[in-house]
Amino acid sequence: GQNIDQPTEMTATEGAIVQINCTYQTSGFNGLFWYQQHAGEAPTFLSYNVLDGLEEKGRFSSFLSRSKGYSYLLLKELQMKDSASYLCAVRDSNYQLIWGAGTKLIIKP
């Protein structure tokens, strides 16, 4: 079966750095996405990785290792507004998105 694993909840301090891991087992691979979702709102796109390596976009970076079925989202200089759920999703061989359950990130002052 297809499976996406990510931690349920993480806590970090304002101004610090946090890494959210995601491991996956899917039928084929056509890219990995990270989305941010605030409570009661729809997800918003953060990053897309299809090749191995690190993609940096401002305070957020995403890493992919296809051989290990592993990705992480790195958030730097954490701000209170970064408190949200972070969803990892993999596009499989049918170009369908397989979603992780999300990681709730709590930022403390």
Partner 1 sequence: GAVVSQHPSRVICKSGTSVKIECRSLDFQATTMFWYRQFPKQSLMLMATSNEGSKATYEQGVEKDKFLINHASLTLSTLTVTSAHPEDSSFYICSALEAPDVGEQFFGPGTRLTVL
| 86, 102, 105, 107: which one binds partner 1 (CB under 8 A) | 102
- Tell me the C-alpha distance between 18 and 103, whole Å: 12
Residue 93 C-beta: closest distance to partner 1, Å: 11
Q: Candidates 19-27, 59-67, 70-78, 98-106: pick the segment binding partner 1 (CB under 8 A).
A: 98-106
| 42, 51, 53, 58: which one binds partner 1 (CB under 8 A) | 42
**Residue 99 binds partner 1, judged by CB under 8 A:** yes
**Residue 83 binds partner 1, judged by CB under 8 A:** no
Q: Which amino acid is at 32?
A: L
**Residue 43 binds partner 1, judged by CB under 8 A:** yes
Contact between 36 and 46 (Cβ < 8 Å): yes
Contact between 87 and 100 (Cβ < 8 Å): yes
Residue 95 C-beta: closest distance to partner 1, Å: 5
**Residue 48 binds partner 1, judged by CB under 8 A:** yes
C-alpha closest to that of 73 among 24, 12, 28, 17: 17
**Residue 87 binds partner 1, judged by CB under 8 A:** yes
Beta-bridged to residue 56, according to DSSP, are 61
- Phi/psi zone of residue 90: left (φ > 0), alpha (ψ -120 to 50 degrees), beta? beta
